[in-house]
Chains A and B, each alone.
Chain A
Amino acid sequence: MNNWPSGTSTHTALRCTVSPSALSSSLSLVSRAVSPRSTLPVLSNVLLETEAEGLRVTATNLDLTISALVAATVLEEGRVTVPARLLAEYVASLDETTCTMEVDERTQMLRITSGVQKTNLHGIDAVEFPPLPARETAPAFEVDAAALQQAITQTAVAASGDEQTPVLTGVLLHVEGSELTLVATDRHRLAVKKLEAQVLTEGVVSGTVIVPARHLGELARAINPTRPRVGVAFSDARNQVFFTLRDMEISSRLIEGNYPNYTQVIPAHSTTTVVLSKELLLKSAKTAAVLARDASNPVRLRAGKGELELLAQSAEVGDHDAPLPAKVDGEDVQVAFNARYLLDALQAIDGEDAELSLNGPLQPAVVRALGRDDYLCVIMPVRVP
C-alpha cells in the first residue's frame, strides 16, 4: 500500500452525529471527484474528517479535489476514508433525521447507527489518503455565483474534447482589475464571456490561467442559491486554482501551456449584420439540424431582402428550407455552419433578439445577443459547394 509522505496524524477514532440528508447532498457533489477507474483503492474513497464546525468530506482524483463541510455534532475528533459510492448510496437510503458515525481505530471500520439500523463499512486508514493541495492564501477575488455558473455554461461548450491538445480542453480565466473573462475554443468556434469580479486583496489583480472545462462543470453543478458567492484563489506555485463557496471548496490543477491569442480572431467589423428573434432562429435551427446532423452536413444561411433563410439537406432524408423575417444590413450573403456550433451559440445567448455579424462564406461570423457585449461566440464557416 502506498504511503503518502505526509505527516498526518494517525489518530482516527472519529465520532459524530450528522443529518443523513445533509451528508447525502454533500456526498453527491463531492463524489464527482472520485475517479471511477482508479488503480489506487484509496482514491475510490471519500475522506471524512472532523473539524470544529462539523464533518468535512473530501474526494480527489489528484487533478480535481472537492470537499464540503457538513453540519455535525462532533463527539470525538478523527479521520477515516470509506468507499465513496457505497457511503453515498447508503446514506441516501436513510430516512431518519440523524445518524451517528463512529470509527473503530483498530479495524478502521466505520459504524453508522441510525434508528435501529447498524451498519459497518470497511474503511482505509486516512493516512493513505493523498495529501490535498493546500490553499495558502485567501481568495484574490470573488464573483457572483449565478453569473459564474452561466458563464461556465456559455463557454465550456466551446472547449475541445480532444485530449491531444490539453490547453483547448480548458477554459481560459483571465482576470484584469474588476473584470473576469472566460474563453474557450475548439479551433472552429470561440466563446468569450466577461463578468464582474470583486477584488478582495490589496493592489492590482491580473493574471491568466487555464482550468479544465470538465472541472468548471463540477463547479457549476455545485452552485445554487445557498452558495451565492464564489471566491477564487491560486496556489503560490500557480499550478492550482481554488474555488471557495459557502461550505465547499473545489480545487483543480491548472493546464499548462500557451493559449492561442483569441483576441485576434474576433472580427472587428462585418459585411452583413442580421438581427432577428432568437427564439425563431433557434427553433428553425433545431429543425434544420435534424437534417444537418452530421459534421459534414452543415446548415446553410442565406441573408438578404429582409429575411434569413435556413437551408439543410441530406442526401438520404430530404431537405428543409425556412425563411425567417430578419433585419439585414449590408451585403447579401450565403454561408454554412456546423449545425451543432450554431445551436450551441444560440442556446448560450440571452435576450430576445440575436445579432449575427457575417463576413462572407469563408470568414468568421459572430453570434451575440442584440445590444449585449458581455458574451459572444465566433464561428468559423464550413466551406461548401
Chain B
Amino acid sequence: MTTPIRLLPPQVADAIAAGEVVERPAAAVKELCENALDAGATRVDVDLEAGGLVRIVVADDGAGIPGDQLQLAVARHATSKLETVGDLARVRSLGFRGEALASIAAVSDVRITSRPPGEEGAWLLHSRAGEVLEHRAAARAPGTTVEVCDLFHNTPARLAFLRSERSESSAAVRAVSDLALTHPEVGFTCRSDDRLVLRSPGGSLIDTAAAVFGRDAGELIAVEGPGEIAVSGLISEPRSHRGSRTGLVIVINRRRVHNRALVVAVEEAYAGLLPVGRHPFGVVEVTLDPAMVDVNVHPTKREVRLREEGRVFTAVQHACWSALQEARLSLAGVRLPQLGGGAPDAAGGAEPELELREGPAGRPVELWPHPLREAAVREADGGESASITDREQAETAGHRLADLAPLRPLAQTSEGWLVAESPRGMVLVDPHAAHEKILYAELLAEGDAAIREGRAATSQLLLVDSVVSVGAAGVERLSESFAILAGLGFQLEPFGPGLVRCSAVPAAAAHLDPERLVRDLLDSLPAGGDAPARRRRLAALTACHAAVRLGARLDPREQLRLLERLVVTPGGLTCPHGRPTVIVLDARSLRRAFGRPTV
C-alpha cells in the first residue's frame, strides 16, 4: 500500500517550521523582546506564568505597529527590517527573518495590542494557531503588548519535549537578562508568577550587571580593548566564580551569541586563577565589522560564524587578561556565619534591590535577599548556582596583597592554618595554597628569565639519575614538552624505548621523588593545548607537589618567611587553582560578627 505524497496544509507546515525557531518558551520570550528592542523601546516588561508555558506578556514603549499592518505581523516572512538580499550582509538589527511573531502565532494564542506614537488609538489582533479571530480597536499607551498564551497547545510533541517548568522558567529569565546586558540602556523588568525576578534600571552596564548578577557585581572588572575588534564588558573577579558557564554572556555587535571559542578565550584569561571546574561570569562584548560575522547560520541566531575567529579569540583573551592583571583583586572579608539565622545584620550594607537567582525545584525563580537562605538553596541546588565567594560582602573594599605587608605570623592552628596580623586586620593563611602560589610564580619567573637570557633554568642536579618508565606514547608526549620542562628546571631526555631519564629537577622540588613527579607531569599534560597553557599547567603541578602540606608544622621562622614571600608574589591572593591563599578578617567584619557597633 502506498501513501500518496501530499503538500502539507499551510498551518501544519507553519507549525513545523515554527518549532525550528521557537523551540521553547525562552525562545519566544527572546524573540518578542528583540522585536521590542528593534522597535526602539526604552522599557521592556516581561511577565511569565509557569515559565511561559501558560502565558507570556511582553510590553514595550516602542514604535508600535499601525492597525492595518497587524495582520502582516503574524504572517510568515513579513519583516520591516530587510528589503533586499544585500541587506543580509549588513544586519545590525536583532530580528530580520520575519518569522518570529508568525512562528509564535502558529503555535499559540496571541493577542497583540499596539499603538504607534502619534496615533489616536490602539488596535488589537487576536489569533489562535495562526488564524485571526479578532481584529478591533483597543486602548493602550503608545507601544506594543504581545500576550502569548497556551504556547505549543497544537504541537503536543513539542510540549512533551520541554523540560520542567522550573528549567523553562530560568531559561526564559536568562534570555531576558541576556538582552538586558546587551542593551543596558533599556530598562527591563521580568516577573515570574508575579514575583519580580529582574529589574534593570536602564542606564549603565554596571547597573544592569548589578541587577543581573547580584550584589557581587560591584566587584566586576571592567574590560577595555579598543581597536578594529573592540572588546568591552564586565567580568567577574577571580574570587567569584560559578559552577557552570551560563553566567558568561558573549555579545557580538550587540547580539548575544553562543560561541564556544570565545567562552574559552575568556576562560583562558583566567588560567591559574580559578578552581578546576569553576567558571567566570560577566558580559563580554565584541564590536567588529558586521561583514566579519555570519549570523544567518541558525534560525534562532544563537550561533554565529566568525571570519578570522583566531583574531577575535586573541583580542578577547588579551583584553580580559589585561583587565585581570590590572584589577585590584579584592580581598573581601569572609562572611562570618550568622548563628541562629536571625535578621540580616542591621549594620550591614544596603541589600541590593533585586537579584536573579535560580531557585530549587517547585519554586521556579525566587528572590533571595538573605545570604543564609541562599546558602540553603545552593545546597539544595547541588551547588549549581552561585559560589560562596560570589557574594563576598561588597562593602569590604578591595585590598592589594601588598597592603597586607608586613604580614606577621601569630600562630598555627592544629589543622595547619596560619593566623597572622596585618595592617588591614587579622589574616588567615592557607600555607599550602600560599606556598604553592609562591613556587608557581617563582618557577615561571625563573623560566622567563632563563628564556630571556638564553640559558638553562636553575635546577638541582640529581646525584643518581632517575630512569622513569612511561611507555612509548608517554615518551612521545613528554618529548613535546621537554623544552617547556627544561624552562622550569627539569632535565629530561629519552633513555631507550619507553624510558625517560631525569637528571635534574627544579630546586624547589628537590625533596620530591623525581620518578613520581615525572609520571604526574605526564598525567597532567593536556592533550594538545598551546605551549603557554601547558607550561602553566606543568608549573602548577610541580608547585602543588613541592608545596608544604596543610597540616605540616611550620616553625615561626618558616611561617614568617612564607608570609614575607607571599606578599611580594604577583597574583598571590589565589593559588594556581584559584583557591584563596588568604582570608582577611578586617576589624569591621569582626566587630559586626561579635555584634559590636562598627566604628
Contact = CB atoms under 8 A, between A and B. Distances in A.
A84 B466 CA distance: 43
Interface string A368-384: 00000000001011111
A260 B514 CA distance: 14
A338 to B, nearest CB: 7
Contacts of A189: 463
Interface residues of B, number: 29
Interface string B454-495: 011011111110100000000000000000000000000000
Contacts of B464: 185, 187, 260, 265
A82 B464 CA distance: 47
A383 B460 CA distance: 6
Given A265-B464, A385-B453, A164 B508 contact: no
A295 B510 contact: yes
Interface string A256-296: 00001000010000000000000000000000000001111
Contacts of A187: 462-464, 466, 510, 514
A320 interface: no
Contacts of B72: none
Nearest to B442: A296
A384 B510 contact: no
B463 A378 contact: yes
Given A296-B446, A296-B508, A338-B507, A382 B461 contact: yes
A162 B456 contact: no
Given A189-B463, A190-B463, A316-B568, A338 B458 contact: no
A78 interface: no
A297 B565 CA distance: 13
Given A160-B511, A162-B511, A265 B463 contact: yes
B506 interface: yes
Interface SS majority for chain A: loop
A383 B504 contact: yes
B115 to A, nearest CB: 71
B506 A188 contact: no
A40 interface: no
A299 B514 CA distance: 23
Contact of A338 (B453, B510, B568): B510
Contact of B458 (A165, A185, A316, A382): A382
B455 A162 contact: no
Contacts of A161: 511
Nearest to B515: A165
A20 interface: no
A165 B453 contact: no
Nearest to B516: A164
A382 B460 contact: yes
Name the residue among A160, A265, A380 with the largest chain B CB count within 10 angstroms.
Answer: A380
B477 to A, nearest CB: 22
A186 interface: yes
Contacts of B510: 186-188, 295, 338
Of B460, B462, B504, which is in contact with the most chain A CB atoms at under 10 Å from its CB? Answer: B460
A362 interface: yes
Contact of B462 (A162, A316, A380): A380
A304 interface: no
A380 B463 contact: yes
A347 B171 CA distance: 70
A101 to B, nearest CB: 33
Interface in A296-325: 296-298, 316
Given A383-B461, A385-B450, A385-B455, A164 B513 contact: yes
A294 B566 CA distance: 13
Interface in A337-385: 338, 362, 364, 378, 380-385
B513 A165 contact: yes
Given A162-B511, A383-B458, A296 B506 contact: yes
Interface in A112-170: 160-162, 164-165
A162 B512 contact: yes
Contacts of B446: 296
A344 to B, nearest CB: 13
B101 to A, nearest CB: 66
B370 interface: no
Given A164-B512, A380-B463, A382-B461, A298 B568 contact: no
Nearest to B546: A295
A316 B461 CA distance: 25
A155 B518 CA distance: 28
Nearest to B491: A383
Nearest to A264: B464
A338 B511 CA distance: 12
A215 to B, nearest CB: 20
A90 to B, nearest CB: 24
22 contacts: A162-B511, A162-B512, A162-B513, A164-B512, A164-B513, A165-B513, A185-B464, A186-B510, A187-B464, A188-B460, A265-B463, A295-B510, A295-B511, A296-B442, A296-B446, A316-B564, A338-B510, A380-B462, A380-B463, A382-B460, A382-B507, A385-B453
Interface of A: 160-162, 164-165, 185-190, 260, 265, 293-298, 316, 338, 362, 364, 378, 380-385
Closest 6 CB pairs of A and B: A296-B507, A164-B513, A295-B507, A380-B461, A165-B513, A380-B463
Given A295-B510, A296-B508, A380-B460, 6 more contacts: A188-B461, A294-B561, A295-B511, A384-B458, A385-B450, A385-B453
Interface of B: 442, 446, 449-450, 453, 455-456, 458-464, 466, 504, 506-508, 510-514, 516, 561, 564-565, 568
